[in-house]
């Protein structure tokens, strides 16, 4: 920094002098210090909530889209266990769509419990105008389980929020 000030001062002095002799630049060579930057990744609660909401929104949109299109195979691929899938397959006969599903119709209210392989959350769904009979947003508890590298819907019956053995486990 000092050499920059010296250099600028020399230039100003030369520019302001009335002589025709050119000013010389100093033969000062600055040395640079080596610096090391360490990046620490910090995940905040807000970031994690947004990440969980994105996971849930994606699953819920894909579930509704599979129901809307009548795609049983795509629907089945969204469930973590066979028993819960079988119970959920009844939706094909019960749901009546007024319009195609739209992304972003669900929001996570709070994360109730989270482990490496399980997320229990409370979410609000606003399917008004999409599903027949949906006349207001609804809040419910949903459980997601990791299946390989992906997340899937899991049993969300009474009393289980990732805090013990899975109710449908052998």
Do 25 and 84 fall within a single domain?
A: no
Domain presence at residue 165? no
On the question of pLDDT at 148 being above 80, the answer is yes
Percent of the chain with pLDDT over 90: 54
Distance CA 141, CA 166 (A): 16
Tell me: the pLDDT tens digits for 1-44?
Answer: 333 333 333 333 334 444 444 444 444 444 554 455 544 445 56
Domain presence at residue 160? no
C-beta of residue 59 within 8 angstroms of C-beta of residue 153:
yes
User: What pLDDT, on the 0 to 100 scale, is given for residue 93?
Assistant: 77
User: What pLDDT, on the 0 to 100 scale, is given for residue 170?
Assistant: 58
Coil, strand or helix at 128: coil
Do 11 and 52 fall within a single domain?
A: no
Which range of residues forms the domain containing residue 88? Answer: 45-154
Distance CA 157, CA 108 (A): 18
Give the residue with greater pLDDT, 169 vs 96. 96
Domain presence at residue 37? no
Distance CA 76, CA 142 (A): 17
DSSP annotation of 113 reads E
- Average of per-residue pLDDT across 43-64: 90
Please enumerate in sequence order all residues whose Cβ is within 8 A of that of 83, keeping only pairs 6 or more positions apart, or say none.
155, 168
Give the residue with greater pLDDT, 160 vs 34. 160
User: What pLDDT, on the 0 to 100 scale, is given for residue 156?
Assistant: 65
* Helix H or strand E encompassing 144: strand 138-147
Do 52 and 136 fall within a single domain?
A: yes
Do 63 and 19 fall within a single domain?
A: no
Domain presence at residue 93? yes
Domain presence at residue 161? no
Do 26 and 56 fall within a single domain?
A: no
Domain presence at residue 69? yes
Total domains present in the chain = 2
């Amino acid at each position: 920094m000092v050499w920059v000030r010296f250099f600028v001062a020399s230039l100003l002095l030369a520019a302001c002098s009335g002589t025709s002799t050119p000013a010389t630049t100093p033969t000062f060579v600055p040395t640079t210090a080596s610096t090391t930057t360490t990046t620490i990744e910090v995940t905040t609660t807000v970031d994690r909530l947004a990440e969980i909401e994105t996971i849930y929104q994606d699953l819920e949109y894909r579930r509704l889209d599979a129901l809307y299109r009548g795609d049983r195979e795509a629907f089945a691929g969204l469930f973590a266990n066979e028993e819960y899938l079988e119970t959920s397959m009844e939706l094909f006969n019960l749901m009546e769509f007024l319009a195609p599903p739209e992304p972003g119709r669900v929001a996570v209210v709070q994360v109730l419990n989270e482990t490496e392989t399980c997320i229990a959350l409370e979410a609000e769904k606003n399917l008004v105008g999409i599903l027949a009979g949906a006349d207001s947003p609804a809040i419910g508890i949903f459980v997601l389980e990791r299946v390989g590298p992906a997340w899937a819907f899991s049993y969300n019956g009474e009393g289980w929020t990732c805090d013990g053995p899975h109710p449908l486990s052998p």
